[in-house]
Structure 1
Amino acid sequence: MSNEDYLKNISEIKHLMNKSSRFISLSGLSGILAGVYALIGAAIAYWLVMEYSNGTLILDGTIYQLVMLDLFLIALLSIITGIFLTTRKAKKHGEKIWDATSKRLVVNFLIPLIVGGLYILIILGQQKYGQTGALMLIFYGLALINASKYSIGDIRYLGFVQLILGLICAWFPGYGFWLWVLGFGIMHIIYGTWMHFKYDVQG
């Protein structure tokens, strides 16, 4: 066996091992659309606050409920889009969408996300609103980093960016809304575009 054949076999074995231990069918386009949904939702929330609370952030009553509904719809649309596009990509490449690897990915992603979501709901119930944006960014960043062990490793970089933005947001809570827009909106679009051309187009 020549050195070239040996190296080729090693590369193929490495690829198969990586494929069996990581879910690699995540769609970059879903990241782009998640960012678009976040920007649209942020614009709606901003308009609600400016239109009906005289420019002061009032998180109670009807405004609070509408903003929470807005956030819920952003998350729901992002999840539905991600599942649809990822399923389509997996079928295109003949890969299973729901196996042991994808289950580990979902579990590791949801643990920090659910814990963070419950904690945020608790402090909102206590009318402690100042750190909400920071906590959303931080727990989301932790969820991405935790899930990256079972998916495309590049998602951890988005997780690190979210963590950094979350810490900046905690230090400067007055800029929480704009840092949230940067993290969930613009960074998702940048990351999704990069992933789309790196994996989707070439794949």
Structure 2
Amino acid sequence: MDINVNKHLESLTEIRSLMEKSSKFISLSGLSGIFAGGYALLGAAAAFWANIHYNHLRIPIKDFSPEFSLQNSFLLFCLIDALLILILSIVTAFIFSKQKAAKAQQSIWDKSAQRLAINLAIPLATGGVFAIYLLLDGNYKLIAPSMLIFYGLALFNASKYTIGDIRYLGLTEIALGLINLFVTGYGFWFWCLGFGVMHIIYGLVMYRKYDSAA
């Protein structure tokens, strides 16, 4: 009797595992988070150096005018810096996910991956447009918190189609963004904490929980 019950439980576990694999993209690697966090911190360090290097830019943010912002060399440097961080993070995530998917004999671009990409891209694109508007309008102090909040919403929204633990990173990013709204003047450090440190911590936890056991 006990043997039959155990067999049924094993069968149910296998069925559940197969259903999860077909409905969720589970090839995300914790190493992707670690590298993304490292890229973010390196990019932040470069921006910090640039801010010191361009002595003529060391004036209060409120003194910048929207018309001058796009012509400002430091802001242009930061835009290029952020774009490089994004590209490196995406490429690295793709490489590690492809390796993990190949190891599990799964497709890197199946329906679950497509659903994940769509649900991740919509909030991210919305947040990106909003951040650009804030930049053009001269509301620099709101850029970092808005990036954190929209990124957190994107992760939480996409968590239904991938490893569920990612929702906790999303909630953390949202919380940091909301706190930053009320603690102005520290956007750079909140950005480093959210996109750098938290990514590394999340990546390490996910690597130990899923990748190292695989």
The one-letter code of the counterpart of 1:198 is: K
Cα pair 1:133 1:177 within 8 Å, conserved:
yes
Q: Which residue of 2 aligns with 1:199?
A: 210
List runs of 5+ in structure 2 lacking aligned partners: none
The one-letter code of the counterpart of 2:32 is: S
Trace 1:157-168 onto structure 2 (pairs within 5 A): 157-168=168-179
Task: Encode CA deviations 1:156-200: one digit per residue, 9 max, x unaligned.
Answer: 000000000000111112111101100000000000011011111
Taking structure 1 as reference, are residues 64 and 57 closer, same or farther at Cα in structure 2, changes over 3 Å only?
Answer: farther
Q: Which residue of 2 aligns with 1:92?
A: 103
Counterpart CA distance in 2 for 1:56 and 1:77 is 31
Helix, strand or coil at the partner of 2:73: helix
Counterpart CA distance in 2 for 1:76 and 1:152 is 22
Q: Which residue of 1 aligns with 2:89?
A: 78
Trace 1:24-63 onto structure 2 (pairs within 5 A): 24-53=26-55, 55-56=58-59, 60=69, 61-63=72-74
The one-letter code of the counterpart of 1:67 is: C
| Coordinate RMSD, CA, aligned | 1.3
Counterpart CA distance in 1 for 2:4 and 2:53 is 72
With the length of structure 2 as denominator, give the TM-score of the two structures. 0.92
Counterpart CA distance in 2 for 1:173 and 1:188 is 22
Task: Encode CA deviations 1:27-80: one digit per residue, 9 max, x unaligned.
Answer: 100100000000000001011112213644667311110011111111110011
Cα pair 2:22 2:112 within 8 Å, conserved:
yes
Q: Which residue of 1 aligns with 2:149?
A: 138
Cα pair 1:49 1:56 within 8 Å, conserved:
no
Cα pair 2:134 2:142 within 8 Å, conserved:
no
Q: Which residue of 2 aligns with 1:180?
A: 191
List runs of 5+ in structure 1 lacking aligned partners: none
Query: Aligned match of 1:17 in 16, 19, 27?
Result: 19
The one-letter code of the counterpart of 2:100 is: K
State whether structure 2 residue 10 is matched by structure 1 residue 8: yes
**Which has the greater radius of gyration?**
2
Counterpart CA distance in 2 for 1:149 and 1:134 is 24
Q: Report runs of 4+ in structure 1 exceeding 2 Å deviation.
A: 53-60
Cα pair 1:27 1:85 within 8 Å, conserved:
yes
How many residues align structurally?
Answer: 203
